[in-house]
Amino acid sequence: MKKLLSVICMMTLLVTIATAQQKFGHVNFSEVYEMIPGQDTARAAYETYVKNVQSQLETMATEFDSKYRDYQANLATMSKLIKDAKEKELQDLQTRIQAFQEAAQADMQNKELELTQPLIDRGKKIIEEIAKENGYTYIFNSSEGLLLYATPSDDIMPLIKKKLGL
């Protein structure tokens, strides 16, 4: 029984010592991300990309509207064969527009990721460097609100600003 009590006390002491040596910090990663150089370029490139996609979609919608108005205006004088062909053409165009919209949505998400991932990686690298330089064991992202309670930790935002030269 004494050995068991000794082992429990020793384990508690080791856990206490290990915990005491850890250093915790936090940072609002959203703020870090906004400060990283290249943000404006990535945002402008994404906006240009989105405008091009929207322009293509508007062109397709205009074509559909034009063909639909033509169909409605000439419906009374169309033969069944032409009417069926025009309806099929409108359905095909509408299907292409819907497919384009779905593909565009996925494509825009991929483009955004392509443009922002290097900035996110740079922010993470800076945080990792600061953690190593300053002996932090853990750094938490305070912008996500993942922790409901934590003992006070150091905000490393001033260190990040210094590292970025701001």
Render pLDDT for 122-134 as a digit per residue (tens, 0 to 9): 988 898 888 888 8
Q: What is the pTM of this model?
A: 0.68
Q: If pLDDT is split at 50, 70 and 90, which confidence band does 148 have?
A: very low
Helices (H), the chain: 2-20, 29-35, 39-74, 80-134, 157-164
Distances (CA, A) of 95 to 16, 85, 89, 100: 65, 15, 10, 8
**Taking a C-beta distance cutoff of 8 angstroms, is the pair 139, 44 a contact?**
no
Burial 98-110, CB ≥16 within 10 A → b, else e: eeeeeebeeeeee
Distances (CA, A) of 27 to 21, 30, 157: 20, 9, 6
Rounded mean pLDDT, 74-98: 94
Percent of the chain whose pLDDT exceeds 90: 49
Rounded mean pLDDT, 20-32: 82
Give the Cα-Cα-Cα angle 18, 20, 161 (nearest 5 degrees): 115
Higher pLDDT pick, 66 / 6: 66
Each domain of the chain, given as residue ranges in start order, spans: 20-164
> What's the rounded Cα separation, in Å, for the pair 66 and 80?
20
- Give the residue from 62, 72, 70 showing the smallest Cα distance to 93: 62
What pLDDT is attached to residue 155?
Answer: 83
> What's the rounded Cα separation, in Å, for the pair 162 and 53?
39
Which is it for strands 24-27 and 154-155: parallel, antiparallel or unpaired? parallel
Chain position carrying tokens 């949505």: 105
Residue 19 structure tokens: 């915990």
